[in-house]
Structures are given as C-alpha cells and as structure tokens.
Amino acid sequence: MDYTTALSFALPLSLGIAAFGSAFGLGRAVSAAMDSMGRQPEAAAKIQVGMIIGCALIEALTIYALVTVFVLQGKIG
C-alpha cells in the first residue's frame, strides 16, 4: 500500500476525530459554564467571557485540522 492510499483513508478519519473531539470539548465547556452561571449569577459576565474565549480556542484546533487535511490532500493528487 503506497502513501497516497494511506492518506486517502487517514485524512477523512482524522478530520472526523478532530470534529468529534471539538464537539465533545465544546459541550463540556459550555455545560460547565452554564453550571457555574447557575450557581453564581453575579459572576455570569466573567464566566461568559472566559467561555467564549475557550470555545474559540477549541474551534481553532478543529480549523487547524481542516487546513492540515487540505494541505495533505493536495499531496495526493
């Protein structure tokens, strides 16, 4: 099996794993933030800002995975 065949199987799989990990992480982060806001409503603004920054960083990892897939896909053909 040459490397192009391996890449053609690995690229979609890696993107799916990255998307699943990102969705799982975002779900946990938002759940924890909502829990915290429910317990301490007076700190909701600070918690929300932290949650949004954290969610942006989590999404950035998925975007990096997508860009990597596109770069490696260019090496196949």
Domain spanning 13-76: CATH 1.20.20.10: yes
> Packing angle between helix 44-76 and helix 3-39, nearest 10 degrees?
180
Q: Which pair of structure tokens corresponds to residue 42? A: 């007076």
Mean pLDDT of 14-28: 95
Q: Per the confidence metrics, is the pTM higher than 0.85? A: no
Mean per-residue pLDDT of the chain? 92
Domain borders along the chain are 13-76
Task: Compute the distance between CA of residue 19 and CA of residue 13 in angstroms, rounded to an integer.
Answer: 10
What is the C-alpha end-to-end distance of the chain, expressed in Å? 16
Q: What pLDDT, on a 0 to 100 scale, did the predictor assign at position 50?
A: 95
Apex CA 37: angle with CA 39 and CA 48, to 5°? 160
Q: Count how many Cα atoms sit within 13 Å of the Cα of residue 32 in the half-sphere of its side chain.
A: 12
